[in-house]
Structure 1
């Protein structure tokens, strides 16, 4: 089973925080309302009941208590019934509190039949959390609401339809789920509803999309992330297995002897033909017979075998999962020589063909710069190779960056994985300069120029010395000399996308400069490029907020408070240098292309080699109202808002 998807689904599935709920009413007060869901499957599915056998309600002191694991398993188990009910009634949750209470009591009775503790359900859930409400996720209550919000053609409908019991299908469904969840959160406008939106996404995938139904093995193990008990065979089955095993062993010895003879005969013929082929000039498939790696011509990078990558990552296990990158999942791995690498398993890509993928690898492997993440090698499996029926798969192998990505340090997660220590001013300064140098190399150090298209904090990795390296070249585009690139497929991340690229598909080096400017402002201001959870009913853009402070002569207020509180940083580097970095970020992220500097000029401004020009007025974004408020709800007065932005002005 795909361990990565199991981890992601199990961690994200809870719609509400787990709390010890008040006990259900005693039996003599049980509501007469019948539960509309059939929960008999709880006794039939061989789920791992050991998670709940030693259940003890936690006292809140340990977040990793057995209670949490048990409650996650129970919620996944209960989700199967909700998905089946969604399929039958088109409703995501239950109609009333009495109905929810009745269903939870029925659920507990099934668990009691399995000799599990009688307080499981009351300790994990409250009946109210399963009652239908418009205030859970994007005002969705039924499948009709779902279709009205996200439409019928979602990534779930194309990726989660088939059997999900194999690794590749489950990975694809997981990524599709995250994509739909992000869309729902954007529609809802409240990031605190992320878990309920994920809950709805899972129910829709299992109940509506998947053709095999919520109780199928693929849905249970992948979508609901339930671990099935592998020891379901009876004693008699094991005895029969032993008899058949001993009988088959003798036959196997004879068969293997014959197969080995055939193998050595075929191997000699294959080697002979290969040598003859290479003498005739066909060298594309030359392979080092004493090595597990092969080098293909024209790329300069190592082509790994899939077996080597599986061994390095322990079969892409959840313990080696690093995170999600552009178009795929990233795992930590260790090669036989002890080298630590990051293996990116590409799930979705523009590069479907062998030639396209080889061309992409050739481009990446030829990029050599201190501030780029180097590519070590790659792997490709074609559908016609019939390797475990995997289909087409692509893998890229990079050097491992031990300090993670910039986003983890700027906006640490609640688990404290990167610690709570803020980046110092010298570290922030070096990171910004490193990214600028890496982009300058892509734009001006290679011919033709390369546009990254997805510069953002999560694509900036930090090495052992906390120096920045630009990563994720799965979206690169080579330009034609002196021309912009027009594309019908816009790739990138909202908040970092240049307006002319997002709206009109015009891609130039200035598109990367815009994204770079947003990263600079994130680093200097300590605020996300795009925040949908702020007090304003509209999205918060850090560039608008910082520009309004600069126009009011309050550029110091835009700086991250941790920079101003660090006396050593202020004394060794005057505030004027920090403010200069903020001004360069605003200039790079200007809405009009012509007013942005090139990355080379931006680098010179950052290093103080040339002066930062006066910050020009920013045309009002399309349908931009005036905002009024304090630091968090900033204001833009009519005098500051500049001229109205007309269609096409941003392209000039």
Structure 2
């Protein structure tokens, strides 16, 4: 298996080299300029989604060979008509890359019945009617740059270059024109222009579209950049050279074609070989997982279960509840999705986590979170109300917690920092500990959360803690001491043995909980310490003060502003720091279990042993360990996955 892995790595290296070689003389220009979604909803979700997917597949197959693709799938109002086209100066490889980006993003228009997306290198449009001969329309817009060039000669040069490119494009069968023109009386100042019509237009419509674009784009002067996004054409000018070299039309062209064919064949064989290797690894992993009870439920089966259960919400219901995903209702943004506040018809406030995924790994996380949290019920765990698992998006519906997440209060602005006195913070600590005890002591399967941090501790109206975000959680049986799994979590909160070897136990959550205790007491964040006074990690700072007996010096100053007539605040805070240090000891066997940690926190008569040295995992060490993991420097097969704040991010 090791030899096979080595071969796979060699092939992957070849792919990277080929891609670098291709990029040397061209750029995919896959930057998204504007996406426009229609206002009307699709007619029949059951038909619309598969038609949409098949249409984009057909377009992808065509665009590989001819830089343009048209396709339509379905009948009646559920028909999907599609058009994709790359601009005339892209290479085949860059055209494919640009289309891949467009295809990934445009489905976010769903459940609208159509939309279009302009990139700097290509265009994609899908509708439920035939639009191929349209050249102008109500959605046509122009976008200007932010910098200005007040040289009158620059403006004159833009005018001439735009006219030349438009004339060139309307005369050629390629529907493509470009111009490079030097600004008079300057040494290194040029104007670059690209004009492109969709090839479904006739010559007359192309000319009309480009004439309109030429007149419109001049409205951007004196800015140094301008674009026109018309229904039937695209135009851009800039004082920066964005144009790719055109193919050489000489005898060397034939040589280039031969090279391209060879590269294509080698790439295909390479990709096929790597795909086979990956498939074997996936098969092996799935075979092992099927032998374990408590592993992932098959995604397709779970999707059907969810569709037929009380948990399922109609997409239209959630769309309406969030006012069509209004920006004003957005309450969080993370790397894998966005969270919106919504109000159901019965008046209930909800939080909807909106995930758009286009691969099975994110889908697996979605189904895992639904399955995991639906089987749990505890006052300190966020309550799942339901989900929607149809269409190109998947949605999770939670109870709405008005105070959102703990990190907003302990790392936020001064007003929020002052809101949480010691009593409230201590109650949050106890509630979080009780929630973790429930997960670790679950009668059916032990559950490790894997991403305990302040951003994943939500607060209700009375500031009671509720653990959220179970997308990375894993469960295993009582007869297992640990499980080996891909690394996932947030740097600064991951236990050293898990980061180094991928060995997961409940003690990984204990470590994260220990870091959380220190953050709650100090108001400083372990993973992002940007103060001028301290350059070490929070763990390192706390340990140094603990040995000196000066921990009180790093207490959150906002805690000092409150009066505590019935408690000894400083004594309690010192105890919490002590327990936090016990939780983050490098040797996991020395860390207390969560039930033990809870008893230490709740009872004053519990004996606290002297903590041993923490691992001092600083940012540099973390990056080194992650790099070693990705390069396969150990014998595990895990891959580092660093999470973002998925629920109520900062």
Q: Which has the higher strand share?
A: 2
TM value normalised by structure 1: 0.48
TM value normalised by structure 2: 0.48
